[in-house]
């Protein structure tokens, strides 16, 4: 055997050893050629993974702070126990979360989801609203919320709005309008910001 033949044989062994370490991700691996260069699925998979691992940084957009906290309020709302309306509230100051709240029954009492609603004038009165629960949670923990912003998935009802104002909340961001127009008139008189931040679907949040 010539020297050149030995060299070719050695190189072939190295290539074979290198290929043997590669595991094809093809879901039909039994019928796959086992070669990365010829398996159509493997080629597509490898390309997709390389793009995922090395994203174009210029395309990445960080969520604005208001959207960030409203998204959190939406998650908080998933804890609500009154299925007539799921509402979440987050109290924030200096970009720090102070307290959260969602609409639910009195502490220690059964939930609407367990025993039904306590209806008066077409409203369930068994629950404490999200905004008030956020205020109470802060009070229980000795947290000052003066000058804070509330992010709430639905605009405050009249009673919740009054509580927020007397608690010192200076800015209200809501996801959808609920029912009381008076809050807009009084907010203007008090020079309190009242901002509509439309809620985003889970798909929009993921983009």
CA distance 57 to 51: 11
Q: Which of 36, 131, 193, 204 is catalytic?
A: 131
CA distance 189 to 153: 23
- The answer for residues whose C-beta is within 8 angstroms of residue 184's C-beta and 6 or more apart is 194
Token pair belonging to 6: 């030995």
131 as an active site residue: the answer is yes
State the sign of the Cα–Cα–Cα–Cα dihedral 125, 127, 128, 129: negative
Q: Quick one: 97 exposed, middle or buried, by C-beta within 10 A (0-12, 13-18, 19+)?
A: middle
Under 8 Å between Cβ of 105 and 80: no
The owner of tokens 């009195």 is 106
CA distance 76 to 4: 72
- Positions marked active-site: 131
């Amino acid at each position: 055997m010539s020297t050149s033949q030995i060299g070719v044989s050695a190189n072939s062994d190295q290539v074979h050893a290198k290929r043997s370490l590669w595991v094809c991700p093809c879901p039909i691996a039994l019928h796959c050629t086992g070669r990365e260069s010829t398996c159509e699925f493997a080629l597509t998979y490898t390309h997709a993974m390389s793009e995922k691992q090395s994203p174009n940084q210029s395309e990445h957009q960080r969520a604005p702070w208001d959207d960030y906290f409203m998204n959190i309020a939406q998650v908080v709302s998933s804890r609500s126990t009154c299925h007539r309306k799921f509402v979440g509230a987050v109290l924030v100051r200096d970009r720090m979360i102070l307290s959260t709240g969602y609409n639910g029954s009195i502490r220690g009492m059964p939930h609407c989801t367990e025993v039904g609603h306590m209806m008066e004038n077409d409203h369930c009165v068994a629950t404490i609203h999200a905004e008030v629960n956020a205020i109470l949670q802060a009070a229980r923990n000795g947290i000052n919320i003066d000058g804070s912003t509330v992010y709430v998935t639905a605009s405050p009802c009249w009673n919740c709005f009054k509580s927020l104002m007397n608690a010192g909340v200076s800015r209200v961001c809501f996801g959808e309008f609920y029912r009381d127009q008076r809050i807009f008139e009084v907010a203007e008189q008090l020079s309190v910001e009242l901002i509509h931040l439309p809620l985003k679907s889970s798909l929009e949040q993921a983009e």
